[in-house]
Amino acid sequence: MTSPSFMPTMRTLAELHAHQTEGLRWTVAHAYQGSAEYRRKFDAVGIRPDDIKSLDDLPRLPLTTADDLRQGYPFPLRCVPFEKIVRIHSSSGTTGKRKNLCYTQKDVDDWTQFFARCYEMAGLTTEDRVQIAVGYGVWTAGFGFQSACEKFGAMALPAGPGNVDLQCQFMRDMQSTVLCCTASMGLLLAEEIHQRRLTAQIKIRKVIYGSERSSRSMRQKISELFGGAELFDITGLTELYGPGTGIECPDHDCIHYWGDYYLVEILDPETLEPVPEGEWGEMVVTTLQKEAVPLIRYRTRDITRIIPGACTCGSLMPRHSRIMGRTDDMFIFRAVNIYPSHIDKILSEIPELGSEYQIHLSRDASERGVMRIIVEIDQAGDLSQTGTLAARLIKKIKRELMVTPEVEVVAYGNLPRSERKSQRVFDTRIQDPII
Ligand code: ZN
């Protein structure tokens, strides 16, 4: 039972930094040469690829944002000819232009390689049976978990998302040992096997979950209901290959990110200046080997912090905290990325409703996520109709965003007004501190 190793070959920080410097210089030259958009951005700040000599030069480079990706739709920031592109993935945005990302064969291979490393970090062996309960399709999740599992050499069970009966059946009949899913799905399945009295017949010993924040109590509950399973928070975003760009280590106090594939800076989202080491800010990433769409100082909008120093687990790979939240108002509910602008748009299509609303995210007694929308009726609205209007709104949101909220329609003027931007999203799903 020997498992292959996908860990980096470098042994010292000096070796890692030399590799990063080389990767940065290659990326900058490649982007400048391959993409008119990148060239324009560099020229605008008067930077030539040769100006970038060391990692200290990174802050001189212009930032890249999600807008750059949207503006270049359908093949934004493409740096290689089309014949080199072997795959396209899209982000899971539900309205507006999707973020499409191109991949070369090397990009796909690199992603598979470092994702396999995640399984290794989580202590899997080739004898593990990995039930992959995430979405397959244009987005990156299913492909990422699947290819890396096969590359690693464990048994992949592509169950897909949802379908609780099938999930329970797979876990029992196939004797799955690892479950890959969102935290909410993990909790749901843990409760199901408990209620169906299947616990004794289930062999799940590790849960690898991502794409959603999770509280310590929720993690504890999932672990307990699975009879003491070990949990691993996995990170990633479509722009940066997909999931698997980092994972919690067996010492469970951080995320190790793959510093041989990308650099992380933490910036103050207002001033865009670096924060002191160890402080919270926006994660900004720069790829080191990505060919089709390299990212240069890409603003992820994710809030985290660098954890300085070496980890007790002995890994050379640098660390950040688990993701605390987002700098924009986007929130993730039941694995769907939702922006308040989505809700704005849906409300505007029901003229009897006003435009003032609040979104409250919480957890019920069984730790399940609840999304509650409080919305005002239109100034001329008929208060006897609040029940019907709530039902209409629920139906519409369900159809467009594929999640089911609770809705309360209140009288006009009932919600507080603010001269500044109104706070729309109140997220109390996590009460305990993020590590
Ligand atoms: Zn560690």
317, 258 contact by CB (below 8 A): yes
CA–centroid distance, 302 to ligand 1, in Å, is: 21
CA–centroid distance, 308 to ligand 1, in Å, is: 12
CA–centroid distance, 144 to ligand 1, in Å, is: 22
CA–centroid distance, 245 to ligand 1, in Å, is: 15
In angstroms, the CA 17 to CA 5 distance is: 21
Report the CATH architecture of 339-427.
2-Layer Sandwich (3.30)
pLDDT score of 435 more than 60: no
CA–centroid distance, 317 to ligand 1, in Å, is: 8
Mean pLDDT in residue range 154-172: 95
Per the prediction, the chain carries an average pLDDT of 91
36, 71 contact by CB (below 8 A): no
Q: What is the pLDDT of residue 357?
A: 87
Q: Reduced to 3 states, what is the DSSP secondary structure of residue 31? A: helix
Q: Name the pairing type of β-strands 298-304 and 306-307.
A: unpaired
CA–centroid distance, 178 to ligand 1, in Å, is: 20
Q: Which two tokens stand for residue 84?
A: 């080199």
Mean pLDDT in residue range 111-124: 98
CA–centroid distance, 253 to ligand 1, in Å, is: 7
CA–centroid distance, 128 to ligand 1, in Å, is: 22
If you write DSSP's letter for every residue of 376-406 in order, what string do you get? EEPTT--GGGHHHHHHHHHHHHHHHHS---E
Mean pLDDT in residue range 400-423: 82
CA–centroid distance, 249 to ligand 1, in Å, is: 5
In angstroms, the CA 349 to CA 156 distance is: 43
pLDDT score of 368 more than 50: yes
CA–centroid distance, 251 to ligand 1, in Å, is: 6
Q: Determine which of 8-17, 279-288, 407-416 has the lowest per-residue pLDDT on average.
A: 407-416
CA–centroid distance, 403 to ligand 1, in Å, is: 35
CA–centroid distance, 369 to ligand 1, in Å, is: 30
CA–centroid distance, 312 to ligand 1, in Å, is: 6
CA–centroid distance, 371 to ligand 1, in Å, is: 34
Q: Which residue has the higher pLDDT, 185 or 242?
A: 242
CA–centroid distance, 286 to ligand 1, in Å, is: 22
CA–centroid distance, 96 to ligand 1, in Å, is: 39
CA–centroid distance, 118 to ligand 1, in Å, is: 12
Q: What is the pLDDT of residue 432?
A: 64
Mean pLDDT in residue range 288-292: 98
Q: Reduced to 3 states, what is the DSSP secondary structure of residue 363? A: strand
383, 411 contact by CB (below 8 A): yes
What pLDDT band is residue 94 in, cutting at 50, 70 and 90? very low
Mean pLDDT in residue range 56-62: 97
CA–centroid distance, 318 to ligand 1, in Å, is: 9
CA–centroid distance, 10 to ligand 1, in Å, is: 16
Q: What is the pLDDT of residue 123?
A: 97
Share of the chain above pLDDT 70, in %: 95
Q: What is the pLDDT of residue 17?
A: 98
In angstroms, the CA 147 to CA 115 distance is: 9
247, 121 contact by CB (below 8 A): yes
CA–centroid distance, 228 to ligand 1, in Å, is: 20
CA–centroid distance, 72 to ligand 1, in Å, is: 38
End-to-end CA distance of the chain: 34
CA–centroid distance, 422 to ligand 1, in Å, is: 40
In angstroms, the CA 85 to CA 431 distance is: 44
Q: Which two tokens stand for residue 310?
A: 């070496």
Equal CATH topology for 71-329 and 339-427: no
79, 31 contact by CB (below 8 A): yes
Q: Which two tokens stand for residue 99?
A: 């973020």
Q: Which of 306, 316, 312 is nearest to 15 (CA)?
A: 316
Class of domain 71-329: alpha beta
In angstroms, the CA 104 to CA 60 distance is: 28
Q: What is the pLDDT of residue 334?
A: 83
CA–centroid distance, 314 to ligand 1, in Å, is: 6
What are the backbone dihedrals phi and psi of residue 149, each rounded to the nearest 5 degrees, phi first? Answer: -65, -45
Indicate the domain borders of the chain: 71-329, 339-427
CA–centroid distance, 120 to ligand 1, in Å, is: 12
CA–centroid distance, 44 to ligand 1, in Å, is: 40
Q: For the segment 299-334, what is each residue's pLDDT rounded down to a tens digit?
A: 999 989 999 999 999 999 999 998 877 777 778 888
Mean pLDDT in residue range 36-52: 97
126, 3 contact by CB (below 8 A): yes
CA–centroid distance, 257 to ligand 1, in Å, is: 10
State the CB neighbour count (10 A cutoff) for residue 218: 24
State the CB neighbour count (10 A cutoff) for residue 39: 14
pLDDT score of 24 more than 70: yes
CA–centroid distance, 423 to ligand 1, in Å, is: 37
State the CB neighbour count (10 A cutoff) for residue 127: 11
